[in-house]
Amino acid sequence: MANLPPLSLYIHIPWCVQKCPYCDFNSHALKGEVPHDDYVQHLLADLDADVHYAQGREVKTIFIGGGTPSLLSGEAMQTLLDGVRARLPLAHDAEITMEANPGTVEADRFVEYQRAGVNRISIGVQSFDNAKLTRLGRIHGADEARRAAQLAQGLGLRSFNLDLMHGLPDQTLEEALSDLRQAIALNPPHLSWYQLTIEPNTLFGSRPPVLPDDDALWSIFEQGDQLLRAAGYQQYETSAYAKPGYQCQHNLNYWRFGDYLGIGCGAHGKVTLADGRIVRTAKTRHPRGFMQGKYLDKQHDVATQDKPFEFFMNRFRLLEAAPREEFTRYTGLDEAVIRPQIDAALAKGYLTETAQHWQITEHGKLFLNSLLELFLSE
């Protein structure tokens, strides 16, 4: 028990008003009404089947993602979180995040979510340029994005996040920096600032738009990073910035190789068992199958030889130092098994090492894939 990692809970709400052309998440455009009550009952039944994985641990964080969770009624959210609390012990200071789309945000609904227990909201702004938002298939405009942020600010939540993209179709350096300045002006405690990537099986994947070239992307990142630092944000993960003390605890648990239960359509989970096995689960992706009670799609034990890669693939996304003892504590393996790979990483200047920690270097950040490849099993 002492060696089990901290536990989080991820809850997936699969519907959105319309599918964005860049999105490869498990989201489904809504046809008709959201089946609020039915879906919540299925979520709780799915959780019932996974409760034993908690093994007595309290849940430190909950993240409700999508899709667009803010399509769920306040009443359904209350039932859902009450149901979670009835099944799992929640830490008294648990961070409970919900994703929201500015186009589906109503003030009274936000208050209802807060009453249900949500204390952190992540708002999918993406851009403050209306033409760019249209190009991205977003249903909101810049004014709605600002209004949603001001609403979140006024609620006195524990924190809120704005999601912002750069490297958009035909985006200039000045346009990207203007988006960032407007986001910073709203003073969110947390900013996720990430580059648009073209994924297969999306509309953009089949008809790719013209994106800024690598040199332009580098300029955007470099100057944007300076803007964020000057405004008091610290980068703590590849695409996440926060004011001191406002990092997303849920995401930190992922990257530190913590455990998480995943419930809802297509949700993924990772749990460590008392005997040292690490089990990964994936739930049925399509709402139709899920709402017939077929919750678990697949699960597998992580092979011993894959544990080092999985551990470092997560850990080295974070810019903080990685405690060496956590490698053994969370994988059950002796550090000796990765000594040759660590030595190779040190020799290449990807890492530095102390008696307690490994720290990724600036050089290592630039060559993250090469660093991680060292830990791939043959």
Whole-number pLDDT of residue 63: 98
Beta bridge partners of 99: 122
Whole-number pLDDT of residue 300: 98
Label each residue of 179-234 as H, E or C: HHHHHHHCCCCEEEEEECCCCCCCHHHHCCCCCCCHHHHHHHHHHHHHHHHHCCCE
- Could you give the angle at the alpha carbon of 146 between the alpha carbons of 145 and 152, nearest 5°? 90
Question: What's the fold here for domain 7-253?
Answer: TIM Barrel (3.20.20)
Nearest C-alpha neighbor of 318 from the set 219, 224, 236 = 236
Q: What whole-number distance in Å separates Cα of residue 189 and Cα of residue 195? A: 20
What the block records as the tokens of 160 is: 């809120």
For residue 272, the SS3 value is strand
CB atoms within 10 A of CB 278: 23
Whole-number pLDDT of residue 198: 86
Q: What whole-number distance in Å separates Cα of residue 50 and Cα of residue 45? A: 9
Question: Burial level of 375, CB count in 10 A (0-12/13-18/19+)?
Answer: buried
Nearest C-alpha neighbor of 241 from the set 258, 257, 255, 227 = 227
- Pairing mode of beta strands 234-237, 240-242: antiparallel
Asked if residues 96 and 118 have their Cβ atoms less than 8 Å apart, the reply is: yes
pLDDT in 10s for each residue of the chain, 378 residues: 458 999 999 999 999 888 887 887 888 888 878 899 999 999 999 999 999 999 999 999 999 999 999 999 999 999 999 999 999 999 999 999 999 988 766 667 889 999 999 999 999 999 999 999 999 988 899 999 999 999 999 999 999 999 999 999 999 999 999 999 999 999 999 999 999 988 888 888 888 888 999 999 999 999 999 999 999 999 999 899 999 999 999 999 999 999 999 999 999 999 999 999 999 999 999 999 999 999 999 999 999 999 999 999 999 999 999 999 999 999 999 999 999 999 999 999 999 999 999 999 999 998 999 999 999 987
Tell me the pTM: 0.95
DSSP 303: P
Whole-number pLDDT of residue 104: 65
For residue 318, the SS3 value is strand
Whole-number pLDDT of residue 1: 43
CATH of domain 312-378: 1.10.10.10
- Domain 7-253 and domain 312-378, same fold? Reply is no
Asked if residues 138 and 169 have their Cβ atoms less than 8 Å apart, the reply is: no
Q: Residue ranges of the domains in the chain?
A: 7-253, 312-378
CA dihedral 263, 265, 270, 275 (to 10 degrees): 70
DSSP 98: E
| Number of residues that this document lists for the chain | 378
Whole-number pLDDT of residue 106: 66
